[in-house]
């Protein structure tokens, strides 16, 4: 049985992950953590997730270290918010706990801190801005298309629900980085985030990234390769959060066996190139 701790236990993703873990035969929820000094402290994590009582009480993250140690967690799954996740990863890795992190919106400095903590504590880690299997095939497709369509104008459009806090989405940024890397373009120079006013002619190198927010959209990503007289669009649409959660289950099984001290990707989890 893989013993799993979940941070963001009452969140949209966290509660879905808790529910899904209870349906697996090879893993169990041993700790459920929420924001510091949460009013949910002491509440049963199963009841909070809308399922039967689990016998695991929600704790505030101010008690993260003692909760992890007392629970014997082997894997911590984090779907929270970037600044909180950096501290959570630091504490979990220092306790020797492997981490599966789906939280998005890390700055370069925050990601560097995560990499440092995983390395110094020599644990397994999967950090991915999108855990869906389809999206990871989407990234692979972009990797193959970009060199073929190198002189086409490239624009990325993402759409998410109206509660999403960060923009552009982590997935849009990964798509952007994959394409820029394949085309040997500097992400600092070629990213154009929305356009307004007299912006001048589009340069051939720039890659536009645009964010739409509305209603209950789970997550759409479109990459347009626009040439003279034709365009090719690659689109992924997530219909339900279940697609991410299915990927999380695979990452939980993978991470105890992952190479220690480095951050693995969903490509590693799924065995994609
Ligand atoms: N990688 C993926 O596949 C994927 C998929 C969906 C969402 N996400 C990302 O996951 C994150 C969470 O998304 P959500 O829709 O579940 O958000 P949400 O707001 O519903 O849930 C986040 C939860 O984290 C809790 N939290 C905040 N600080 C905490 C702390 N220090 N310790 C423990 N818990 C804390 C909040 O109280 C909240 O319950 C976002 O960054 C989102 O972009 C990633």
Residue 48: CATH number of its domain: 3.40.50.720
User: How far is residue 254's CA from residue 257's CA, in Å, rounded to a whole number?
Assistant: 6
The pocket around ligand 1, CB under 6 angstroms, is made up of 7-8, 10-14, 33-36, 61, 79-81, 84, 88, 102-105, 128-131, 244
Q: Are residues 6 and 119 in the same domain?
A: yes
Q: Is 201 a catalytic residue?
A: no
Residue 44 per-residue DSSP state: B
Paired tokens of 210: 């645009």
User: How far is residue 62's CA from residue 52's CA, in Å, rounded to a whole number?
Assistant: 26
In 3D, which of 19, 13, 7 has the Cα closest to residue 46?
Answer: 19
CA of 144 to the centre of ligand 1 (A): 31
Is residue 266 within 8 A of residue 252, CB to CB? The reply is: no
pLDDT score, position 130: 86
**CATH number for the domain including 162?**
3.30.360.10
Q: Are residues 52 and 111 in the same domain?
A: yes
189 within some domain: yes
Q: Are residues 112 and 137 in the same domain?
A: no
Is residue 187 within 8 A of residue 177, CB to CB? The reply is: yes
CA of 7 to the centre of ligand 1 (A): 8
Of the three residues 77, 93, 123, the one that is the final residue of a domain is 123
Q: What is the pLDDT of residues 190-222, one digit of tens each?
A: 999 999 999 999 999 999 999 999 999 999 999
Q: Are residues 110 and 146 in the same domain?
A: no
Q: Are residues 41 and 148 in the same domain?
A: no
Q: Are residues 93 and 114 in the same domain?
A: yes
Q: Are residues 64 and 165 in the same domain?
A: no
Cis-peptide into 60, omega within 30 deg: no
Q: List the chain residues with pLDDT less than 70.
A: none
CA of 237 to the centre of ligand 1 (A): 20
Q: Are residues 15 and 93 in the same domain?
A: yes
263 within some domain: no
Which residues are bridge partners to 5 per DSSP? Answer: 31, 76
204 within some domain: yes
User: How far is residue 47's CA from residue 70's CA, in Å, rounded to a whole number?
Assistant: 21
pLDDT score, position 191: 98
The per-residue DSSP string of 124-184 comes to -EEE-S---HHHHHHHHHHHHHHHHTTTSEEEEEEEE-TT--SSS-HHHHHHHHHHHHHTT
128 within some domain: no
Q: Is 236 a catalytic residue?
A: no
* CA dist list (Å): 95 to 34, 122, 214, 217, 262: 18, 11, 40, 37, 16
Q: Are residues 24 and 115 in the same domain?
A: yes
Q: Are residues 119 and 7 in the same domain?
A: yes
Q: Looking at ligand 1, which atom is closest to the CA of residue 166?
A: 43
Q: Could you identify the residue written with the tokens 């492997």? A: 98
pLDDT score, position 272: 82
Helix (H) or strand (E) holding 208: strand 207-213
**Domains contained in the chain, number:** 2
* CA dist list (Å): 265 to 105, 211, 251, 259: 16, 24, 9, 11
* CA dist list (Å): 76 to 47, 98, 145, 174, 255: 20, 6, 35, 23, 10
Q: Are residues 103 and 142 in the same domain?
A: no
265 within some domain: no
Q: Are residues 79 and 182 in the same domain?
A: no
Residue 58, domain extent: 2-123
Q: Looking at ligand 1, which atom is closest to the CA of residue 132?
A: 3
């Amino acid at each position: 049985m893989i013993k799993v701790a979940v941070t963001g236990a009452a969140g949209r993703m966290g509660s879905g992950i808790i529910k899904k873990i209870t349906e697996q035969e090879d893993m169990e929820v041993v700790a459920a953590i929420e924001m510091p000094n949460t009013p949910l402290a002491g509440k049963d994590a199963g009841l909070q997730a809308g399922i039967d009582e689990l016998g695991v009480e929600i704790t505030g993250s101010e008690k993260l270290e003692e909760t992890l140690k007392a629970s014997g967690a082997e894997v911590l799954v984090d779907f929270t918010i970037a600044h909180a996740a950096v501290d959570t990863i630091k504490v979990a890795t220092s306790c020797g706990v492997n981490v599966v992190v789906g939280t998005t919106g890390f700055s370069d400095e925050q990601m560097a801190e995560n990499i440092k903590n995983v390395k110094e504590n020599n644990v397994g880690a999967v950090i991915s801005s999108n855990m869906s299997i389809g999206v990871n095939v989407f990234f692979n497709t972009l990797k193959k298309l970009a060199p073929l369509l190198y002189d086409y104008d490239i624009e990325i459009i993402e759409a998410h629900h109206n509660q999403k806090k960060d923009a552009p989405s982590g997935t849009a940024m990964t798509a952007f980085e994959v394409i820029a890397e394949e085309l040997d373009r500097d992400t600092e120079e070629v990213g154009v985030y929305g356009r307004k006013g007299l912006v001048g002619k589009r340069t051939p190198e720039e890659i536009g990234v645009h964010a739409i927010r509305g209603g209950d959209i789970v997550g759409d990503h479109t990459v347009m390769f626009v040439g003279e007289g034709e365009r090719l669009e690659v689109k992924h649409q997530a219909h339900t959060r279940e697609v991410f959660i299915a990927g999380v289950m695979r990452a939980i099984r993978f991470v105890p066996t992952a190479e220690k001290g480095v951050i693995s990707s969903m490509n590693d989890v799924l065995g994609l190139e």
